[in-house]
Amino acid sequence: MAAASLSTRSAMLLSALARSGSLCSPSGSRALHVTAVCCKNHAARVRVGKGDKPVTYDQALPPHYIGHRKGWLSQHTSNLKGEGGAAERTIEDVFIRRFMFGTFHGCLANEIVIKRRGNLLTVCALMLQRLPPMKFYFLIGYTETLLSHLYKCPVKLEIQTLQHKTVYKYL
């Protein structure tokens, strides 16, 4: 009796699992898990909430407005026709953004804008006035020196400080 009930239960379990779309034996070996497709775009969008979430201009506009209502955060010639080095510049950009986020932790008010003019790399950032100016100066010098040595090109930081973050709208 007990065995029969157990087998029926395991059969029900298996059928339930099969219905959910995964084929796996009760012992838990590797298998293919499939879920239904969610036909929604989630890239770089802030979902509308109750109206108490302050959002900057850059965050508020989804990515299909790039080129129409938004500019580009990073500019270099590698994305033009016949030019090379796009991958290297992209990797540099990603590293610089993470580096800035970590060095000026909690002070960044908005995204970082990276401009390249020939050899010169200019990193523009908006900061909040959370640290005393001496600390800011030290961190700026430290970042510039370290990044210059890392990338073997002159790196300049253009920092602007604000009291509060500029809010575009509340979502």
Partner 1 sequence: MASHTSKAFLSLGRINVSGVGLQKSLSRATYATGVSTHTGGGNKGHPDRGGQRQGFIKKQRRTSGEPRTAKMAVDQDWMSVYPTATPFRPSAVPLPVRMGYPMKGGVPPEKMGNLELMKIPNFLHLTPVAIRKHCEALKSFCTEWPSALDTDAQCDEHFPVKVESTDYLSAAPSLRNPSARVVHLRVKLSSLNLDDHARKKMLNLVGERYCKDTDILTITAERCPLRKQNHEYAMYLLTVLYHESWKTEAWEAEKTVADMEDYSWEESPSQKNILSMLIRMKVAGEGEEEEVREQLLGRKEVQEYKNSVVRLRNEGESESTILQYKEAVKKVLNL
In the set 75, 90, 99, 103, which binds partner 1 (CB under 8 A)?
75
DSSP letters for 120-163: EEEEEEEEETTS-HHHHHHHHHHHHHHHHHHHTS-EEEEEEEES
Nearest to 114 by CA among 103, 105, 106, 122: 122
User: Interaction with partner 1 in 10-69: which residues (CB under 8 A)?
Assistant: 42, 53-54, 56-59, 61, 65, 69
Q: Tell me the site size for partner 1, rule CB under 8 A.
A: 62
DSSP class of 55: E
Cα 6 to Cα 124: distance, rounded to the nearest angstrom: 66
In the set 78, 95, 137, 141, which binds partner 1 (CB under 8 A)?
78
Residue 147 lies near partner 1 (rule: CB under 8 A): no
Instruction: Pick the piece of the chain touching partner 1 (CB under 8 A) from 4-12, 19-27, 29-37, 145-153.
Output: 145-153
In the set 19, 40, 81, 164, which binds partner 1 (CB under 8 A)?
164
In the set 33, 64, 117, 149, which binds partner 1 (CB under 8 A)?
117
Residue 99 lies near partner 1 (rule: CB under 8 A): no
Cα 65 to Cα 47: distance, rounded to the nearest angstrom: 16
Cβ of residue 69: shortest distance to partner 1, in angstroms? 4
Specify the residue, 57 or 137, whose C-beta has the smaller distance to partner 1.
57
With a CB cutoff of 8 Å and minimum separation 6, the contacts of 35 are: 21
Structural contact between residues 121 and 114, judged by C-beta atoms closer than 8 angstroms: yes
Please state the separation of Cα 5 from the chain's center in Å. 51
86-103 and 133-151 are packed helices; what angle lies between their axes, rounded to 10 degrees? 150
Residue 140 lies near partner 1 (rule: CB under 8 A): no
Question: Given the rule CB under 8 A, which residues bind partner 1?
Answer: 42, 53-54, 56-59, 61, 65, 69-73, 75-78, 82-83, 85, 88-89, 97-98, 101, 106-113, 115-119, 122, 124, 126, 128-133, 151-153, 158, 160-169
